[in-house]
Amino acid sequence: MTELLTAAQMRAMEKAAIESGQVTGLELMERAGRGVIDAVFAEWPDLARAPCRALVLCGPGNNGGDGFVVARLLKEWGWEIDVFLYGDPAKLPPDAKANHDRWQAMGAIAAMSAVPSNDARHDLLIDAVFGTGLTRPLPADVRNAFQHVFRSQAGIRFVGVDSASGICMDSGKPLGDRADNPFQRSLIVQFHRGKLGQYLFPEAGAASRVRIADIGLSGGIGAQGVKLVTERCAHALGKPQAHKYAHGHAFVLSGGAGHTGAARLAARGALRIGAGLVTLGVPGSAQTEVAGQVTAIMLKRADGPEELAAVLEDGRINALCLGPGLGIERARGLVRMACGGVEPRPTVLDADALTCFSDAPDEFFAMLHEDCVLTPHAGEFARLFPDIAERLNAAAETGPAYSKVDATRDAAARAGCVVLFKGPDTVIAAPDGRCSISLAAYDRAAPWLATAGSGDVLAGFITGLLARGVDPMQAAETAAWLHVESALSFGPGLIAEDIPEELPRVFRALGL
């Protein structure tokens, strides 16, 4: 797992380091500027081979100070540099003012409003106007400057210093008018740790790459932090055991005739991820249909709550999945039985199992227990948590804005169980506040995952891991990461059936 920080958390870490005497503000600024240069040359080696021309836009705070350092270092590299400043140089913070003065001894500084009059062709645009702590929309001068550059210099390579100006780095949302900052960002260079909003959409979809520059700070913030799910979570799978029941028995409820595909996908996912046994609970009308489609997956008749209760008398069944293709009317009784009518066991609730209680969410939440995992997409989330969704979907006028992380944490606290809020920025939260992001963007972008049935496979992955005894939070994280990894391994052309079948290749690549 990799720790992500909010703007306030990053400021607190810098402040603590400076106050302890570990480093000075000027030293941090110098390291930040050098980190940007190193990241630029690593991203585009051609820029390191010959002097080029850069446009550096600096702001009224310490982010602007970082920009002056970048300008000076590029000038020393032999580049031609044009620097523009938003704000009064006399009001710059002390460290930023010191670097302003160092640059001024080397080159000119023009007001931001003068950008449209500068028609020189540039190879690189350095955005050091507003960093991670922005709490208001872009001023008109700044907005106009960016718009002019992107209109007049199509294809210019853009580098954001710790952030793209105008973006709330706690939520990934643009502040103010959603059209203020619509431009594609080539590279964002962040310091010490990734910032939360850079890993949430829409910002995660606007930037091409993020690089993290080490500026010599140490430590993190522990349990308060949001984690970025990485491959290390896959080792939650552990070592094989001696017999199938040691890997658990997952039970997946199916819909009726003509509606069994989603549950079959979930069951296949549970089997491929390592559940020792997987059984489909099928209504009588669909038994023949399902029997002709499965081999390693077993069948049990389960028309309604009474049949489900009888099946669950077998204590070896230790994980349930309800929802995919289940049917909204049928789902109500089955969910009540699975969550409250028998001895509770780890349960994944997806699709129709979520929607069937959208008119009675309080009843639904009262049935849930700590070993449940809810897996809503945005529409299902809005039906279950309408007030939270309304707040999340509101335009961000000031920062820090309410984020998908905030929304998922609030939903998990209300539901009393793990919530996995699906999307290219899947957010997973537990009732105790633990939170992580499984991202399908940057070098893990897998747009072909947007295919019918992929969410059913994800529900099956989680169920299979629960059957193997994995903690609900870790099961959700591991399943989400492997879901994306399988899609990346397969590549374009993916359909839902391919996802579980790609898992063995992924496992081999991981050395499992």
Three-state DSSP string of 433-459: CCEEEEECCHHHCCHHHCCCCHHHHHH
Per CATH, 2-228 and 243-510 having the same topology is answered no
On whether the 243-510 domain is CATH 3.40.50.10490, my answer is no
How do residues 119-151 score in pLDDT, each as one tens digit?
789 999 999 999 998 899 999 999 999 999 998
d(CA 24, CA 102): 17
Ligand-binding site membership of 255 (annotated): no
Report for 240-249, 274-283, 334-343: range of highest mean pLDDT = 274-283
Beta pairing, strands 418-421 & 425-429: antiparallel
Q: Domain map of the chain by residue range? A: 2-228, 243-510
Find out whether 46 is annotated in a ligand binding site: no
Is 66 annotated in a binding site? The answer is: yes
Q: Is 412 annotated as a binding residue?
A: no
Q: Work out the average pLDDT over 72-87.
A: 97
Q: Does 136 appear as a known binding residue?
A: yes
d(CA 209, CA 487) in angstroms, rounded, equals: 20
pLDDT for 102 beyond 90: yes
Tokens representing 484? 């994306």
Q: Annotation-wise, does 483 bind a ligand?
A: no
Q: Answer yes or no: is 325 a known binding residue.
A: yes
Query: What are phi and psi for residue 407, nearest 5 degrees?
Result: -65, -45
The answer to whether the annotation marks 33 as part of a ligand binding site is no
**Over the stretch 449-498, which tens digit does the pLDDT of each residue have?**
999 999 999 999 999 999 999 999 999 999 999 999 999 999 999 999 99
Taking a C-beta distance cutoff of 8 angstroms, is the pair 198, 5 a contact?
Answer: no
* Whether the predicted pLDDT of 26 surpasses 80: yes
Confirm whether residue 235 is marked as ligand binding. no
The answer to whether 426 is a known ligand-binding residue is yes
Q: Is 165 labeled as ligand-binding? A: yes
- 456 annotated as belonging to a binding site for a ligand: yes
133 is in an annotated binding site: yes
Beta strands in 69-169, from DSSP E residues, in sequence order:
80-85, 109-111, 124-128, 157-161
> Is there a binding annotation on residue 192?
no
Q: Is 401 annotated as a binding residue?
A: no
Mean pLDDT computed over every residue of the chain: 93
498 known member of a binding site:
no
195 in a labelled binding site: no
Calculate what percentage of the chain has a pLDDT beyond 90. 85
Tokens of 267: 């069951």
> Is there a binding annotation on residue 355?
no
- State yes or no: 262 annotated in a binding site: yes
Per-residue pLDDT tens for 158-216?
999 999 999 999 999 999 865 455 567 899 999 999 999 999 999 999 999 999 999 99
- 377 annotated binding-site participant: yes
Of the options 3.40.50.10490, 3.50.50.60, 3.40.50.10260, 1.25.40.10, the CATH number for the domain spanning 2-228: 3.40.50.10260
Q: Say whether pLDDT at 311 is over 80.
A: yes
455 is in an annotated binding site: yes
pLDDT band at 243 (very low <50, low <70, confident <90, very high): low
